[in-house]
Structures are given as C-alpha cells and as structure tokens.
Structure 1
Amino acid sequence: MHDPLPEETADRREAERLESLDRYDILDTPPEPNFDKFTRLTRKLFGTPTALVSFIDAHRQWYKARDGAEASEVPRSDSFCTRLIEDGEPLIVRDAAADPRFSGNPYVLGAPYVRFYAGVPLRSEDGNIIGSICTIDTVPRQVDEGQLAMLTDLGEMVMEELNLRRLATRDALTGALSRRELREQAGQALALAQRHGHKLSCAILDLDHFKEINDGYGHLAGDRVLAKVIATCTKMLRRTDLIGRLGGEEFAFVFPETGGRDAAAIAEKLRVAIAESAVDLGPATVRPTGSFGVASLADLPLDFDTFLAQADEALYEAKAAGRNRVAVWDKSVSLSLANRRRVLKSGRILAGDDSAAVDCTVRSLSARGAGIDVSDPAALPAQFDLQIASDGLRRRCRVVSLTDNRVELAFEPRKAS
C-alpha cells in the first residue's frame, strides 16, 4: 500500500472538514439574533464598517450573520477566509493592496474594495475549521494584541452558540420544528411507514417572491409574514402531521397515513388559505402566496433526504409553471433521485480538457445522479463531468433541473468496455 499523495491527504482532510460542518446543519439557515450580536460586537471592537460570521463549504463562503455587507455569500476561490482553513491560525491583512497574497483579489481591485482584514477560524469540537468570524475595512489598519485576543474570544463564543443551537428543537420565529429535529422525527416516521407498509407523504412550501417583501418592507416585516403563514398552516394540520423550517422561507410538511392524492389535496387547501390570508404591515397589506411540491412514499426504500429531494423537484416544477400552485413528483419522469442520500462533499465540474474547472458543493448523491450547489449555474456548460475526489468518482452528467444555485444532475450511463 502506497503512502497517500499530498492531494489525496488534502482531499481526505477536506472531506472530514465538510462532515464536521454538515453535523451542525447550519448552512442556508435564516438569520438569528444570537449570531447577529457577534458581528455588532466585532464592528465596535475594531471600529470597522463590516463584520461577518461565515461558514465555508466546498465552493463558497456563506454568511450566517453580516453587518455592513450586502451579499449573502461569495465564491470560496475569492474569499480571504479560505486562508484560515489552509493556515489554521488567525489572519491579519493590514493593507491588502500591498500584500502580494491579496493584491490581485477581485474584492481588493473592485467592490467592496477591501484594504484591511482580520479573521479568526471557527473550530468544530473535533478540531476542523468550518468557518470564520472576521471584519474588513476599505482603508489600511493596525491591530493590537488585545483586539486579536478579543476577536479569538468572540470566535469561541460563536462556536458555543452553535453548539447550543444544535440542541434546539423549535424555530423561535414560527414555532415550526428546527431542520435538525424535523429530520429526526420525519426519519422515524419514514422508517415506521416502510416497515409496516403504511402510506406517507411530504410536501415543501416556498413562499413566492419573498425577497421582495424583505427588500420592500424590511426583515421584521418578512418575519411577520412568515409567522402568519405558518400559523395559518398549523391550524389546518392534524396533530400527527409535522411541519419544520428548512431555511429562509422554505418549510417542509410530513403527512403520516396519507397517500399522494390526499397529500396534494391538503397542500392545495394550504395554498388557498395562504393566498386568502392578509398581513398588515402598516404602510401596506401583503397577501402572500406559496408554491408546493409534494411526494409520496413509493415502493422503493429511501431515506428522508431523498424523500425531501423528490418534493423539492416537484416544487421546482410548481415554480417553473408560474408559482402559487401545487405540483406532485412523478417517479416515471424523474429517476435521478432514486436512492439519493444527503451528503456534503467537495466536487469539481470538469469540461473540455479540464482546464476550466469549477468548484461545487455536492449536497445529495446516488448511483444515478447528484444534487449540487454552484455559485453561477447559468455558466455551466452543456455537458460536463462531476468529480468527487474523496470518493474517487468521476461521472458524465446532464442537468435535470435548476433552481437558484441548486442543480439536479443525472449521470449518463456508463459505456460498455
């Protein structure tokens, strides 16, 4: 057995790091005041215009909390914080324009015109760096030892908060189950249904054009809309039904002892009730609408993440057809989700002679296909290979569906040798 090559060791370490990040189930969750306080404190500590609490997956730096930044994520390839993973220690950049490591960075040469950066890593309980807390400015700055020590303390406090969050079972705003608790209870319901041959269905709700509400009236107004919508839905559910918040304006429902036709009828009643509700925001009254994707338990065994992926694919169809409607997943049309399991892996999109590789995060995987996240789905070539180095996998792909930054792929059949 040969000693691992450097790239093999790096691939293994990255796979372990992503497994640690995945256990916190934090990516793409909505803003939370308990994390926002850390960016406010960091800005006050340094007197800077911007502070961020970030988590880094395979292709991006995603902001759980941001104070002074408009974007919610940036490509990992352009991120200053990625250096924290590579170096494993705090990073101070007093003048990025004069630092050869960063002088050519697009965020130094263009907006937001970073000149100063100070960041410390966020370490999981098993020692992997999963993110950062950092602050930036548009002018050069100096940092003293006291400031760096306090920033390190804030990073440790972020991780303490993150560990406490893992214990929460309810979303504080809507009362829906947390994403982690939903997966736990739904997984049990799914296993029970498959063991005894019972019916089971799930649905995903996505509020239509919710960003326009947040942008037009503010996030507090958006929170009021979310709370009203979920209160409306909860009143119409049975005590045995489950509702959980997946992130942002997206919620999942699980209907025990319910087949696909009945689940679609329930989703339609919920859709109508949402459309008939009204939320008084003071200067205006908002009438939200929602799109639903529904999936029901088929004959093949599957886990909850695959079940959810089926409903999510149906949700894509509902949104593509014009929103404010219900769509049902059709297994005869989509076979790429069979036996799909949830993962968090580092992937690369390879086309042509492999010279123009694009990083991606693999979120689900089966023998037939994968679900990936990329920063710019519109830039994907017509044909490409998906490579997952940690698994030794490389497969030719075609795009099945595309929603925002999420892309569903089907693997092309292997050629006979």
Structure 2
Amino acid sequence: MLNAPIHNNDKTRLETLRGLNVLDTAAEERFDRITRLAKRLFSVSICLVSLVDENRQWFKSCEGLVASETPRDISFCGHAIHNPQVFVVNDTLLDERFSDNPLVTEAPFIRFYAGHPLTMPDGMRVGTLCLIDENPRDFSEEDKIALEDLALMVVSELTSIQQTTLDELTGISNRRGFEQLAKQALSTWDRNGIDSNLVFFDLDYFKGINDTYGHDAGDRALVSFASLLTQEFRDSDVIARFGGDEFLVLFGQSSEGHIRFALERFKRALINYNNTSTESFDLAYSVGIACRKSKQALNICQYLDAADKAMYEVKLAHHNR
C-alpha cells in the first residue's frame, strides 16, 4: 500500500481548509443534495464530500457510508488532492498502490474510486467529491466532466459558507462563524468531559483612533489585533471578531495556569508590536474571562454574556484609574 502523500504546501492548504469554518459541522442539505444526485447519476454505492485534514479525511456529506471520517494516510482522497483533475482507480485490486489498503481489504471494500478535487479560489485543494463502489468499472470522459460539474457546485457552496462566516476585514471568523464553531466545539468537549474558557477582548480607545487618525487607521488597528490573536493562540482555539472592536478566543483543555500564560504571552506580543509599529497609535485592550464546566447548563449566549460582563468590569476599572 502507498500512503497518501503530503506535499510541501500542506500547511498553506490546511490554513485554507480551516478558514472555511466547516470541519466538524453538522450535515447540510446543500451538500447532501449534491451527493445524492451524484450517487444516483453514477449508480455507485457511496458518494462523499471529503475534506482532507491534517491526520484524517472528514466527510461533510456522506451517502452510503456510516463513518464520519477515516485516517488520512489510508485515504484515497489524500491521493486525489494532488491531482488537478479527476483521480480514478478503476479496479483497486489491480493497482499496487491500493490493493492491500484496509479500505479495500475490509469494509467498505472499495474496488472503484473516482474523486474530483475541491479547488478553492486560492488554488488550494481542500478535499474531493468522490464516488466509491464495491465493483470495478470504467469511467468515461463524459463521466469525468459530469463529476467536475458537481465538484464545482460543492466548491461554490463552500465558498458561500466562507463568505458568510468570515469577517471580511480581518479574515478571521465573524459572529456567525464563531457561534457555529463554538456550538460544535462545546458539544464535542461535553462528550469528552472537557472544560472550556472564553476570553473576551475589547480594544481600548478605538473610537479615539478613528476620530484622530481616520477610519483607515481604525481598520488597520483591527487587522493588526486580529493578526496578533491568530499568531499567539493555538490553531485549536476558536478565534473570532465578535463585532466592532470586540474579539473572542475560546479555549478547550486549558487550565487556569495555561490561560494566564497564554494571555501574558499575548500581552508581551502586543507590547512588542507597539514598540516596533510605525503607526501613530498604540493598541490597548481590556479582557474578561468566563469559565464553563463540561456539560454545564450554560449555552453560547449565556457564555458570551458572562465573558462580556467580566470584560466590562475590567474596562470600567481601566477608565476609573
């Protein structure tokens, strides 16, 4: 068996994938409609919208298969994303790359595979629309064109999600994106008995930056602050611009000591930014923290409200000095 290769641009590709804000989200009719159509059109037993993450392939839509993900190293889609066009294996038992693959020798007993890469506007291939069957078969040029058309529909839907869940100015999640990701994260953490912490940031003196230096300067301040957040916090943390000059970071599996350390590191990074920046203004912020125990009856809105109140108390103390 040949393991799915990992190319040099995989870090950039993963950034594009995670920027879609779609991993581990619930099934959606917009994608299921496409996989149902493809399954019927090509008369195959399985059709998937497969997204290739760092160590797994995760299925945003899955027709004909119970599993929600499989390891990346044994995945067919891990091979397919390295091809600009459709990747076809007519008979896995005749292909030395796959003949002893566990997905061939065990359920779902793949004998035929065809996957078209899902290529995003930046050129990164984040996954595939793929067809799987337990019988070998041919795949004509007309079939390839039809699969490409359907794959472009999937890309269109992924792009639509990205546009509605990302903040246009800073490129990080917006409020809607945060709520989707946070809901999924909290559900996962509850199942695994993991506590979490929500950190609420508010830029100090932001109105003064806009009034004194103009709205372009205010935009630069927001972009710089968002960039510092993404640089200093972990990829596994949920980072978002909540609105205006407010930002959020949701931590899972983090002790009180880790939160303090992370915030101190961020504070040092911001001080360094101010010391080296050519801007006429400095960045400053107030921060509040709310904690949520695993399975606590605290929904996202209540969680946000608790962190917001904690931040407001800190901000009020700043202004009363």
* Superposition TM-score tier, normalisation by shorter sequence: 0.5 to 0.7
Q: Which residue of 1 aligns with 2:190?
A: none
CA distance in 1, matches of 2:79, 2:107: 20
Q: Which residue of 1 aligns with 2:173?
A: 180
SS at 1:140's partner residue? coil
Q: What 5-or-longer segments of structure 1 have no aligned partner? A: 1-8, 171-178, 187-243, 253-289, 317-328, 342-365, 367-402, 404-417
Q: Which residue of 2 aligns with 1:140?
A: 136
Please tell me whether residue 332 in structure 1 is matched to residue 235 in structure 2.
no
Q: Which letter maps to 1:138?
A: E
> Quick one: which of 196, 208, 222 aligns to 1:293?
196
Q: Which residue of 2 aligns with 1:41?
A: 37
CA distance in 1, matches of 2:180, 2:44: 34
Change (3 A) 1:169 1:82: closer
Q: Which residue of 1 aligns with 2:108?
A: 112
Residue pair 1:29, 1:247 contacting (<8 A) in 2 also: no
CA distance in 2, matches of 1:182, 1:26: 15
CA distance in 2, matches of 1:56, 1:20: 11
SS at 1:70's partner residue? coil
Measure how far apart 1:42 and its partner are.
0.9
Residue pair 1:28, 1:248 contacting (<8 A) in 2 also: no
Q: Which letter maps to 1:293?
A: S
Matches within 5 A, 1:233-252: 244-246=179-181, 249-250=184-185
Measure how far apart 1:22 and its partner are.
2.5
The structure carrying a bigger helix percent of its residues is 2
Q: Which residue of 1 aligns with 2:73?
A: 77
Change (3 A) 1:110 1:160: same
Per-residue CA deviation, residues 24-67 of structure 1 (Å, 9 max, x unaligned), is 22211211110111110110111111100011122111101000
Per-residue CA deviation, residues 140-161 of structure 1 (Å, 9 max, x unaligned), is 1122222211100001111111
Q: Which letter maps to 2:120?
A: S
Q: Which residue of 2 aligns with 1:303?
A: 229
CA distance in 1, matches of 2:163, 2:98: 39
SS at 1:303's partner residue? helix
Q: Which letter maps to 1:73?
A: E
SS at 1:78's partner residue? coil
CA distance in 1, matches of 2:200, 2:14: 30
Measure how far apart 1:332 and its partner are.
3.1
Q: Which letter maps to 2:174?
A: E
SS at 2:154's partner residue? helix
Q: What 5-or-longer segments of structure 2 have no aligned partner? A: 1-5, 167-171, 188-192, 202-224, 240-248, 270-293, 295-321
The structure carrying a bigger strand percent of its residues is 1
Q: How many residues align?
A: 217
SS at 2:116's partner residue? strand
CA distance in 1, matches of 2:265, 2:75: 31
Matches within 5 A, 1:240-389: 244-246=179-181, 249-250=184-185, 293-296=196-199, 303=229, 312-313=251-252, 330-332=255-257, 337-338=262-263
Q: Which letter maps to 1:180?
A: S
Matches within 5 A, 1:97-108: 97-108=93-104
- Aligned-pair RMSD on alpha carbons? 3.7
CA distance in 2, matches of 1:128, 1:250: 25
CA distance in 2, matches of 1:101, 1:152: 24
Change (3 A) 1:34 1:308: closer
Residue pair 2:118, 2:128 contacting (<8 A) in 1 also: yes
Q: Which residue of 2 aligns with 1:189?
A: none
Amino-acid identity (%): 34
CA distance in 1, matches of 2:38, 2:15: 28
Q: Which letter maps to 2:121?
A: E
CA distance in 1, matches of 2:58, 2:265: 25
Residue pair 2:24, 2:184 contacting (<8 A) in 1 also: no
Q: Which letter maps to 2:21?
A: D
Query: What TM-score results when the alignment is normalised by the length of structure 1?
Result: 0.45
Per-residue CA deviation, residues 117-140 of structure 1 (Å, 9 max, x unaligned), is 111111010112111000101111
Q: Which letter maps to 1:32?
A: E
Change (3 A) 1:180 1:104: same
| Higher RCO (CA < 8 A, seq sep 6+) | 2
CA distance in 1, matches of 2:261, 2:27: 32
Q: Which residue of 2 aligns with 1:278?
A: none
Residue pair 2:86, 2:114 contacting (<8 A) in 1 also: yes
> Quick one: which of 23, 28, 48 aligns to 1:27?
23
> Quick one: which of 94, 117, 124 aligns to 1:121?
117
Per-residue CA deviation, residues 227-280 of structure 1 (Å, 9 max, x unaligned), is xxxxxxxxxxxxxxxxx121664459xxxxxxxxxxxxxxxxxxxxxxxxxxxx
